[in-house]
A and B are shown apart, each in its own frame.
Chain A
Amino acid sequence: MDLSLDQTQQLIQESTRDFVRGACSRDALVKLDKDPAGISASLWPKIAELGWMGMAIPEEYGGTGNALTDVAVLYEELGVGPVPGPHFSSGVLCARLLLEAASEAQKKKLLPELASGERVFALAATESHYGWMPEHVRMTASKDGSGYKLTGRKVFVHDAMYATDLLVLVRTDEGITLVRVDARAAGVTTRALDGFLTSLAEVSFDKVGVSAADVIGKPGGAWDALQLAMLASAPVLCAYKVGGCKAVFEMSLQYSKDRLQFGQPIGRFQRVQDHIIHIVNYLDAARWTTYEALWKLDTKQDAASSVHMAKSVSSEGYLRACDFGHEVHAGIGVSREYGLTLHTKMSRSLYHCLGAPKEHRKLMEKVLGLLP
């Protein structure tokens, strides 16, 4: 038993911290949040250059083949920002999905370019009847020669505005099928959604042609591959939320010392202390459920129950940590300049990603043998 980070992980942690402190300071991220171009122009080349997009990809496909826990350490620090952008969608979720679903030729062609950051992938899975269960995939693709034609709409697609390539989940005669679509192809329209959310988009498809070479893996076989990819990716996303909780904790702790009211730091008031205790409790619950799930995955143990739990605990924890952060900060907390709302918005935006807590708890019923 050893709950510390190994040497590689400590190096990853340090270098990511340096990056976030430098290029992604709170001021820089507040500015970025207002920039309609988002992360793509300024930050993406740096992120790609650091090799982060290849960490979850084996060496034979141009990556560095790191353990999931290594990748999670990176994402925990990115979550501290929170550094927005398609890094998770492309470098973890779509990378894992291609590894699980794609043919050898497709892997050889797509993964090295994904690892280098030349290609940016986003997963277009969810629709207006939102959810991450098979019944939520309703968009159909019709047979068109040896390929398909796509018409329909995907919503709440994470990071689609940054993507060069979309992996689209559709229903075909064979079942649930995954296809690759060029994000700039004729008939594809991506519209970033405005509101209390970060990097979510609607993607419409109007008679978009898909060649046989762009059908990823076997037609009808996408759901099982997606399950495996989600199982491995979800805890990495959880680690990002752990980082978010950590940032909210540190901000709130600092504010409890700096802010004076009634002639003393507000942290002297036990009511204020209680808010911060809630935050640290959510932080640590998210942290240890997440890293235990990652350890199980890295050591090839049955991880389903742990992953569902971590996803449920960290999604709720990040959201509530932000809420308690707002109780501590009061007025200044809702000023967009201050930076707390970047987390608040992120905690909402990621709450449903890869399945809401309610769905993961439902899946746990099965794993725990509770279904009659």
Chain B
Amino acid sequence: MDFAIEDSPEQEAFRKEVKDWLQENIPPGIEHSVDPKDMTYEQYQIRRELGRRLGKKGWLYPTMPTQYGGADLPAEKTIILYDEIAKTGLALPPYYDAGGRMAAPTILVWGTEEHKNRFLPPICRGEVRTWQLLTEPGAGSDLAGIKTTAVRDGDAYVVNGQKVYVGSSHGADYSWAIVVTDPKGQRHKNLSWLMIPMNLPGITVVPMDLLATGGEGGSGSGVKNSVFFDNVRVPVEYLVGGENNGWKVATTHLEAEHGGMGRLADRRVIYEFIDYCKERRDGAAIIDDPAARAELVDLYIESEITRLFALRNHWLSHTGQPRSYEGSQYSLRRKLSGLDISEKMLRIAGPQVLTKDERCGPLKGMVEYFVRDAITSLHPGATTDIQRVIIARRMGVGRAEREQAGALR
């Protein structure tokens, strides 16, 4: 076995190539806000510029095929790329983009050649940013119970309804949605997967006021929105995977969203918190207390296990290994250990972790955001309970057959 992210001379050369490229191409003036909500429009634009540069190189979504704007990068190199970008304090993609992370692999599996040529290159080149529209006020865990309709009318689907917990700050060019195309049809056989240009008339975006934005890793999204559709006409050729076949199509991106892709966890907050606890302030340090030391070790172990699960999934998905329960297992672990770590931080360091006040709180609010976000992170990409349901089905608990994982690239 080899757990190292770098070893051979060829990989070393690639790491240098990435490092040099990033040094040359990361636009000047990037600032990091602890809470993605505080990212200004200017900062967002700088990240989009970096996205376009990465996209031109095929590195924005590096595992995608070259012909659609990726770089067909093997696992070894992808991991190096993720790793080097993480070292700059950014993630890949450097801004929230559900289009590349989840829609692109889905289109690759289900789209026609025309769909692939139409949608994938702009996503992979970073020219567009895409949101996903799944949850509705009346349909969260029970996603198949959505109500937003898309009724065929000539050369268009007419969309009506409301989606919630959508996207990010600063808008999007496209969204993709699960919609009801056969209102009288049987459950699971009445849905379709639709790409929607966000500049169509009849779309209204209203920000939601949430504790934090949570998410399944990567770049934070900032705000989440409600999106209202009022007789929005979407061209029929924007439907991917066949009419009323949307539930099957959705299994592919849900696989990605349920953690199947595996991400290399950013554990900066863990390391910085541990260092903060070692620091001596007014003659005293948190680690003077033996109970705090013991809890810091527990916290570290918690985060290490999460890291290893992520690493395993990353390896599984990027080497095309068969997967079953691992995606949801990682997601469940990430959610629960995040919550557990946040409680440990509170116990170890006291009420200091609840403030972003620079004088009274640690690490410029980084810990305050972590403990807030840990709670919000429990629901995106499926609740902990739904993750457990998926794990049990995939393992075949109480069933003769194991449920298969959705296809993923």
- Chain A positions within 8 Å of B, measured between CB atoms, are 1-6, 69, 253, 256-257, 264-270, 272-274, 276-277, 280-281, 284-285, 288-289, 291-292, 294-296, 299, 309, 312-313, 361-362, 364-365, 368-372
Query: From B388, which residue of chain A is reached at the shortest CB distance?
Result: A277
**Chain B hits for A6, CB < 8 A:** 1
Pairwise interchain contact B398-A257, C-beta atoms closer than 8 A: yes
Pairwise interchain contact B1-A281, C-beta atoms closer than 8 A: no
Pairwise interchain contact B392-A276, C-beta atoms closer than 8 A: yes
Mask, B275-286, CB within 8 Å of A = 1, is 001100000010
Pairwise interchain contact B388-A284, C-beta atoms closer than 8 A: no
Do most interface residues of chain A lie in helix, strand or loop, or is the interface mixed? helix
**Chain A hits for B277, CB < 8 A:** 370
13 contacts between A and B (CB under 8 A): A1-B75, A2-B319, A4-B1, A267-B392, A267-B397, A272-B398, A280-B325, A280-B395, A312-B301, A361-B294, A365-B294, A365-B296, A368-B296
**Chain B hits for A371, CB < 8 A:** 287, 293
B208 at the interface (CB under 8 A from A): no
Mask, B196-223, CB within 8 Å of A = 1, is 0000000000000000000000000000
Query: From B288, which residue of chain A is reached at the shortest CB distance?
Result: A372
Name the distance in Å between A217's Cβ and chain B's nearest Cβ: 32
Pairwise interchain contact A309-B301, C-beta atoms closer than 8 A: yes
B274 at the interface (CB under 8 A from A): yes
**Chain A hits for B305, CB < 8 A:** 285, 288-289, 313
**Chain A hits for B3, CB < 8 A:** 1, 3, 291-292, 295-296
Cross-interface CB contact of B388 among A5, A273, A285, cutoff 8 Å: A273
Name the distance in Å between A287's Cβ and chain B's nearest Cβ: 9
B13 at the interface (CB under 8 A from A): no
B396 at the interface (CB under 8 A from A): yes
Cross-interface CB contact of B329 among A274, A284, A368, cutoff 8 Å: A284
Pairwise interchain contact A276-B395, C-beta atoms closer than 8 A: yes
Pairwise interchain contact A266-B398, C-beta atoms closer than 8 A: yes
Alpha-carbon distance A370/B294, docked complex (angstroms)? 9
Given the known interface contacts A313-B305, A371-B287, the answer about A273 and B312 at a Cβ–Cβ threshold of 8 Å is no
**Chain B hits for A277, CB < 8 A:** 329, 332, 388, 391-392
Name the distance in Å between B240's Cβ and chain A's nearest Cβ: 33
**Chain A hits for B75, CB < 8 A:** 1
Alpha-carbon distance A3/B326, docked complex (angstroms)? 14
Enumerate the 3 nearest inter-chain pairs by beta-carbon distance, A residue then B residue, closest first: A267-B398, A273-B392, A288-B308
Pairwise interchain contact A313-B329, C-beta atoms closer than 8 A: no
Alpha-carbon distance A269/B288, docked complex (angstroms)? 47
Do most interface residues of chain B lie in helix, strand or loop, or is the interface mixed? helix
Give the total of B residues in contact with A, Cβ under 8 Å: 43
Which of A3, A264, A296, A361 has the most chain B CB atoms inside 10 A of its CB?
Answer: A3
Given the known interface contacts A256-B397, A265-B398, A371-B287, the answer about A1 and B301 at a Cβ–Cβ threshold of 8 Å is no
Pairwise interchain contact B5-A1, C-beta atoms closer than 8 A: yes
Alpha-carbon distance A256/B396, docked complex (angstroms)? 9
**Chain B hits for A3, CB < 8 A:** 1-3, 311-312, 315
**Chain B hits for A281, CB < 8 A:** 329, 332-333
B127 at the interface (CB under 8 A from A): no
Mask, B322-341, CB within 8 Å of A = 1, is 00010001001100000000
Query: From B80, which residue of chain A is reached at the shortest CB distance?
Result: A1
Query: From A357, which residue of chain B is reached at the shortest CB distance?
Result: B301
- Chain B positions within 8 Å of A, measured between CB atoms, are 1-5, 75-76, 79, 274, 277-278, 285, 287-288, 293-294, 296-298, 300-301, 304-305, 308-309, 311-312, 315, 319, 325, 329, 332-333, 388-389, 391-392, 395-400
Alpha-carbon distance A129/B99, docked complex (angstroms)? 61
Alpha-carbon distance A285/B311, docked complex (angstroms)? 12
Pairwise interchain contact A368-B392, C-beta atoms closer than 8 A: no
Alpha-carbon distance A264/B399, docked complex (angstroms)? 10
Name the distance in Å between B27's Cβ and chain A's nearest Cβ: 30
Cross-interface CB contact of B1 among A5, A269, A289, A372, cutoff 8 Å: A5
**Chain A hits for B391, CB < 8 A:** 273, 277, 280
Cross-interface CB contact of B287 among A257, A272, A370, cutoff 8 Å: A370
**Chain A hits for B287, CB < 8 A:** 370-372
Alpha-carbon distance A299/B277, docked complex (angstroms)? 32
Alpha-carbon distance A292/B310, docked complex (angstroms)? 13
Query: From A257, which residue of chain B is reached at the shortest CB distance?
Result: B398
Alpha-carbon distance A288/B399, docked complex (angstroms)? 27
Alpha-carbon distance A162/B333, docked complex (angstroms)? 42
Which of B298, B304, B309, B392 has the most chain A CB atoms inside 10 A of its CB?
Answer: B392
Pairwise interchain contact B285-A372, C-beta atoms closer than 8 A: yes
Query: From A260, which residue of chain B is reached at the shortest CB distance?
Result: B398
Alpha-carbon distance A195/B328, docked complex (angstroms)? 40
Alpha-carbon distance A183/B315, docked complex (angstroms)? 49
Alpha-carbon distance A312/B302, docked complex (angstroms)? 12
Cross-interface CB contact of B397 among A276, A295, A312, cutoff 8 Å: A276
Pairwise interchain contact A288-B309, C-beta atoms closer than 8 A: yes
Pairwise interchain contact B312-A270, C-beta atoms closer than 8 A: no
Which of B1, B2, B392 has the most chain A CB atoms inside 10 A of its CB?
Answer: B1
**Chain B hits for A292, CB < 8 A:** 3, 308
Cross-interface CB contact of A370 among B2, B278, B332, B400, cutoff 8 Å: B278
Pairwise interchain contact B308-A368, C-beta atoms closer than 8 A: no
**Chain B hits for A268, CB < 8 A:** 398-399
Given the known interface contacts A3-B1, A291-B1, the answer about A272 and B278 at a Cβ–Cβ threshold of 8 Å is no
Alpha-carbon distance A123/B84, docked complex (angstroms)? 47
Pairwise interchain contact A368-B297, C-beta atoms closer than 8 A: yes
Pairwise interchain contact A267-B278, C-beta atoms closer than 8 A: no
Which of B2, B277, B319 has the most chain A CB atoms inside 10 A of its CB?
Answer: B2
Given the known interface contacts A3-B1, A295-B1, the answer about A257 and B325 at a Cβ–Cβ threshold of 8 Å is no
**Chain A hits for B400, CB < 8 A:** 257
